[in-house]
Chains A and B, each alone.
Chain A
């Protein structure tokens, strides 16, 4: 089965800095990857996703990089703001499973003013 893990449970950055959150997955059959943000008392909020036929995808202030060779995924947040403080989860889904996501444990991002 799939195993998804985040490299660091916590990350603290200064406002305005760029943040990088890393994630590793184990199943080479995974073909869909997604990052969620979770604020206290709320459900996971979609940030950005990427399929295995791509290695980079950009959104507003966020970039996801996928390295299938080493089974590594990262989320880059540009110009981090205090409102970005939350727990960030990566998740992966195997081909054909239709969103049977395996989540990592989460990285708590704290943005210091």
Chain B
């Protein structure tokens, strides 16, 4: 069964540094998402992306965050200047279209020190 692949599985970075989290969605998916889960808390929506542009974003997704799909394959989340409170599991997800459920990757654990 096709999977959403995320790399790296664990990223450690220092506060203020830029990080890029990478995702390879399932090949026939058209809608892409980033969610995050702070340890012990709920999974939270960050952003949705369709047709090479952001469809929706949450309040969490401020100017420090950006997404892109540079080569039609990878889907990336960039955090320009990380803060301690950015430490979380970041999940990439995708769906073919509005009638199929979201499929999640196994996440990247981001630790900001």
A and B pair up: yes
Where the two chains meet, the residues of A that have a C-beta atom closer than 8 Å to any C-beta of B are: 34, 36, 41-46, 49, 89, 91, 97-106
A100 touching B104 in the complex, CB below 8 Å, given contacts A43-B4, A43-B91: no
Nearest B residue to A104 via CB reads B42
A99 touching B4 in the complex, CB below 8 Å, given contacts A34-B101, A44-B91, A105-B42: no
Residues of A within 8 A of B91 (CB): 43-44
| Contact flags B28-48 to A (C-beta < 8 A → 1, else 0) | 000101010000011111001
Label chain B's interface by main secondary structure.
strand
Distance (Å) between the CB of B44 and the closest chain A CB? 7
Q: Are B101 and A49 in contact (CB under 8 A)?
A: yes
Q: Are A41 and B55 in contact (CB under 8 A)?
A: no
Residues of B within 8 A of A43 (CB): 4, 6, 91, 93, 104-107
Report how far A102 CA is from B41 CA in the complex, Å: 12
Shortest Cβ-Cβ A-B pairs, 6 listed: A43-B104, A103-B43, A43-B106, A46-B101, A44-B104, A103-B42
Which chain B residues in 92-109 approach chain A with CB under 8 Å? 93, 95, 98, 101-107
Which chain B residues in 1-37 approach chain A with CB under 8 Å? 4, 6, 31, 33, 35
Residues of B within 8 A of A99 (CB): 31, 33, 48, 93, 95, 98, 102
Report how far A104 CA is from B23 CA in the complex, Å: 24
Among candidates A41, A46, A102, A104, residue contacting B102 with C-beta atoms closer than 8 Å: A46
Q: Are B43 and A44 in contact (CB under 8 A)?
A: yes
Distance (Å) between the CB of B93 and the closest chain A CB? 8
